[in-house]
Amino acid sequence: MQKNTPYILFLTFVLLVTVSFFLLIKDFLLACFWAIILAVVFYPVYQWINRYFKNSEILPLFLTMLTIILVFVIPLLIITLMITEESTAYYQKIQSGEINPQVYFQDTLALLLPKFNKLSHIQEISVEQISASAGNAFTQAVQYIAQQLPALTQNILNLIVQVALSFYILFFLLRDGQQLIRKLIALIPIGDKIEIELFERFTSVARATVKGGLLVAVIQGSIGGLLFWFVGIPAAFLWGMLMIVLSLLPIGSALIWAPAAVILFLQGYTLKAVILLSVGIFVIAMIDNFLRPRLIGKDSKMSDYLVLVSTLGGISWFSLTGFVLGPIIAALFITFWDILGKYNQASNS
């Protein structure tokens, strides 16, 4: 017992120092997380570029990081600013009375529920009441998005620091990532085979979520937004952004374009409804089946219900970062229990 005392004491100090270190960098953990995710997703790109510039160490790194900026950072920044600008303009129109969401919802409900007021068991609820509630909820949602611009402007310095730190860490992860993984495998005392399996699981889910899920969602939402604009639906850009968010989930963007097609049909715009429904079924819905397997390749997949629950839980816990972190935690959870099951089977046999 006494022989183990120094080792236990040492492990205690290791744990205390580790916790202290994470508390020290807690404000920058988000930057570290995105640096790791970007390194995992774009490391194959770095390897591909490195094959053409074997005599230079810096140039492949520079070109890879430039690719990340052009493919990931700039589009994300543009989309964020456009959402905020569109929301602000739309909210100003609501406040000036140019747009009245309550009237829109009232007209829609009147079309969908022509006999609503004749239902005896809910006589106390009227179309006007529901439309007022829906209109207020829509207005508040638009207002919330519009109010994020001042907050974004106030935190611009912090955002610049976080992005700069992410790319600084990313540089070293791309260059020394394989060595770091080998060191971690050697240091973590739970068995090399288990650690390699965990790293592979983390890598596959991160790539599947970002490369497959995010890109497919952006394509589907962009097509949906353009389609809404083409058929003349108000706030097409905002609806497109909402379709991007829903496309990240197994629920899909059909929750937006399918009801919109029904409403257009009930309003008498049959051609527009047919166009919306046709593009939705044969283009937007098929993109998921056509592009996702090619973008994800052999990366691991999880059940749709698990993706849905873990993504929603991740967003609830970690804000927008949760759409990546949630599925990763769920995948590691499954992997740990699978490994535990294998060990139990091996012990019993």
Other residues' Cβ atoms within 10 Å of the Cβ of residue 260: 22
Residue 287 CB partners (closer than 8 Å, separation 6+): 216, 219, 220, 223
- Of 236, 257, 235, 237, the C-alpha closest to 246 is 257
Phi-psi region of 284 (alpha: psi -120 to 50; beta: other; left: phi over 0): alpha
Which of 13-22 are b and which e, b meaning 16 or more Cβ less than 10 Å from the residue's Cβ?
eeeeeeeeee
- Of 5, 82, 109, the C-alpha closest to 240 is 82
Residue 211 CB partners (closer than 8 Å, separation 6+): 41, 295, 296, 299
From first to last of its 349 residues, the chain has per-residue pLDDT tens of 455 777 788 888 888 988 898 889 888 888 888 888 888 888 888 989 888 887 887 888 899 999 888 887 787 777 767 766 766 776 676 667 666 665 555 555 555 555 445 544 444 445 455 555 555 666 666 666 555 555 555 566 777 888 889 899 999 988 888 888 888 777 777 777 777 877 877 787 777 777 777 778 888 888 888 998 898 887 788 788 878 877 777 667 888 888 888 878 877 788 988 998 898 888 888 887 777 666 655 555 667 677 778 877 887 787 767 777 888 888 778 877 887 777 777 766 6
Alpha-carbon gap, residue 225 to 348, rounded angstroms: 57
Q: Give backbone dihedrals phi and psi of 195, rounded to 5 degrees, phi first.
A: -65, -40
pLDDT at 116: 46
Alpha-carbon gap, residue 156 to 144, rounded angstroms: 19
- Of 215, 216, 217, 207, the C-alpha closest to 297 is 207
Here the tokens at position 71 are 């493919």
Alpha-carbon gap, residue 143 to 147, rounded angstroms: 6
CA distances from 188 to 4, 169, 197, 225 (A): 19, 22, 13, 48
pLDDT at 301: 62
Radius of gyration of the chain (CA): 25
Q: Give first-to-last CA distance, the chain, whole Å.
A: 31
pLDDT at 253: 80
- Domain residue ranges in the chain: 1-113+127-187, 188-349
